[in-house]
Amino acid sequence: MNHTLKTNILNLQFQKYLVIASTSIIIGFTYFIALFISIISKQISFQETTSILIVIVLSTGIIGLSIISFLNSISHLNKIINILKNL
């Protein structure tokens, strides 16, 4: 395969994983801001155990998925950078 073509394909993959990493950060921060606003406006009551449980489960799921996708993207970005250095 042509060197320029390989470089262009790797650059496109790099951009894809960069977008995934930045989107996962944005989703995480947006979730924390929304959670903070809902706590301040007393939409979430910490007097009931069901509401606390729902918040914990949702927070674990959303933040967990964001962290996993972020770390996966960073891993792919590092691999692409190493491949580009070797070309």
Give the separation between CA 76 and CA 21, rounded to whole angstroms.
10
Beta-carbon count within 10 A of 80 CB:
20
Give the model's pLDDT for residue 51. 83
Q: How would you write the pLDDT of the chain (87 residues) with one tens digit per residue? A: 788 899 999 999 999 999 999 999 999 999 999 999 998 998 887 888 888 899 999 999 999 999 999 999 999 999 999 998 988
Based on the structure, what is the number of domains in the chain?
Answer: 1
Beta-carbon count within 10 A of 76 CB:
17
Give the separation between CA 29 and CA 47, rounded to whole angstroms.
25
Its pTM stands at 0.84
Do 27 and 62 form a contact (C-beta atoms < 8 A)? Answer: yes
- Structural domain boundaries enclosing 21: 3-86
- Give burial (CB, 10 Å; 0-12/13-18/19+) of 46: exposed
